[in-house]
Amino acid sequence: MPFTGKILLIDDEAHVRKFLGLVVRGLGSPVTLEATNGEEALRMYAAESPDLVLLDVNMPMMNGLQILAAILQQDPKAQVVMLTSLANRQTIEDCLKIGAVGYIRKDTPKEAILAELTAYISDEPKPADPPAS
């Protein structure tokens, strides 16, 4: 069944939002929302309660970890997938520890991103990578 839910893309870079916006169209016909900073993201999350959030780790002002924490505070069941560029393992682990469901490197080929995202929107239990000890 094509996905028709809401996806919130949070990234300060327009080209990344544009790219991911096209990637998520592969899921079906999602409603795509875009935010360029934490404040905007939190306002949108509260107003729209999206089904899936893609959140850049590396953001100006509020960073990804802070935005993640704030979203989870609003909605403990939020499905947030972190977007990373640098292999900043520690930050990713911190995000997974406080409740991100997974992470995707932004330079992953689009087919692979789509495969990952499909897993997150399916009805199965969410496959969160267990954070390393």
Which spans of this chain sit near another protein (rule: CB under 8 A)? 13, 15-16, 18-19, 22-23, 25, 85-87, 89, 106-107, 109-112, 115, 132-133
Whole-angstrom distance, CA of residue 116 vs CA of residue 112:
6
In terms of CB distance, is 12 or 51 closer to another protein?
12
Q: Whole-number minimum distance, CB 91 to another protein, in Å? A: 13
Provide the minimum distance between the beta carbon of 115 and another protein in the complex, in angstroms, as a whole number: 8
Taking the least distance from each CB to another protein, the nearer of 49 and 85 is: 85
CA distances to 19, 48, 95 from 125, rounded to whole Å, are 27, 23, 19
- Return the number of the residue (5 or 26) whose C-beta is nearest another protein: 26
Whole-number minimum distance, CB 80 to another protein, in Å? 20
DSSP-assigned beta bridge partners for residue 84: 105
